[in-house]
Amino acid sequence: MGWSLAIYALLIFDKARPDTAIGYYQSKGASVRLEWDPSQTVLLEHIIWVCAGLSFINLAFNFYVANHSRLGWWVNIPLLFTCSLAAGLYIRFVV
């Protein structure tokens, strides 16, 4: 579920950020969005924090299972937690 939210966040990220290649767009006469879309940015931030929360819960569950059984650690859960935490902090404090 966490990875599904991360992929959905990537899909709306394009609408929540400024346009890239500004010089090219301006040379062709196209309108350029220089600001972040506030509604999409808030939605993106909420999705990223939910993704971080889910991955944290899953990380705690993974820690419990790894200590009480023979199953090993899953690498993708800490990776998702680290990425979503970094993205959430970036959107919260930089944007």
Low-confidence stretches of the chain (pLDDT < 70) are 17-26, 33-34, 73, 95
Task: Give the integer Cα–Cα distance in Å for 84 and 53.
Answer: 9
The pLDDT of residue 21:
64
Tell me what the pLDDT averaged over the chain comes to. Answer: 80
Q: Where are the domains positioned within the chain?
A: 1-12+38-94
The pLDDT of residue 33:
67
Alpha-carbon distance values, 75 to 10, 38, 53, 54, 81 (Å): 21, 34, 17, 15, 10
pTM: 0.69
Task: Give the integer Cα–Cα distance in Å for 58 and 51.
Answer: 10
